[in-house]
Structure 1
Amino acid sequence: MNIEKKIKDDKLLVKIEGRLDINSSAELEEELKKDIPGTKELIFNFKDLIYISSSGLRVILSTQKIMDKQGSMVIENVNDLVMEIFEATGFSKILTIK
């Protein structure tokens, strides 16, 4: 997995490439902990995310809970495979996906 972050004022853009699974979810969680304080708008770009596991979903859900208290979170460019996972788990109903 590769994580690319861009910060502008109180907006954080996070692009994730590869697989978000048990081996990489802790890395994403640590990266988010560094930058989420003070962030009002969080945008995930999942264009190059090819797989997300339950551990990756946990990180996304916990991040959503934090952002619900301090701003907004949007997930963009979700491919069909990842969208199927979001729909099967019910995450498509609780996340803002564009």
Structure 2
Amino acid sequence: MQLSKKQEGNQLTVSIEGRIDTTTAPQLEGELKHAVTDEVEKLVFDFSKVEYMSSAGIRVIMSAEKVMRRQGGMVVRHVNEDIMDIFEMTGLVDILTIE
């Protein structure tokens, strides 16, 4: 997994490439803990290059959503069909803002 972060004002965009699984989820979680400061009011995930996401990845995304619910909001963008199927099967489509 590779990720890049871009902060513009109070918005942080995190672009992820590759797999979010038990091996890479801790890396993503660590990066988010350092990057999502009190100043971040909107967190945007760019999933255009995410190939796969396991339950470990779902846990990290849900943890981020919980934090951002208190600070502002979170959006997941450019979700491919396979990841959207995961979101639908787990009921996350009803919780997350997906564009």
SS in 2 for 1:74: strand
Using the size of structure 2 for normalisation, the TM-score is 0.97
2:3 aligned residue: 3
SS in 2 for 1:57: helix
Give the unaligned 5+ runs of structure 2.
none
Q: How many residues align?
A: 98
Which one-letter code corresponds to 1:62 in the other structure? S
SS in 1 for 2:51: strand
Give the unaligned 5+ runs of structure 1.
none
RMSD, matched Cα: 0.5
CA deviation vs aligned residue, 1:58-98 (integer Å, no higher than 9, x gap): 00001000000001100000000000000001111100000
CA deviation vs aligned residue, 1:16-36 (integer Å, no higher than 9, x gap): 000000000000001001111
Which one-letter code corresponds to 1:10 in the other structure? N
1:57 aligned residue: 58
1:72 paired to 2:78? no
2:43 aligned residue: 42
Q: Once the 2 structures are TM-superposed, how far is the Cα of residue 2 of structure 1 from its aligned partner?
A: 0.4
Q: Percent identity?
A: 45
Using the size of structure 1 for normalisation, the TM-score is 0.98
* TM alignment of 1:26-41, pairs within 5 A: 26-37=26-37, 38-41=39-42
After TM superposition, the runs of 4+ consecutive aligned structure 1 residues lying more than 4 A away are none
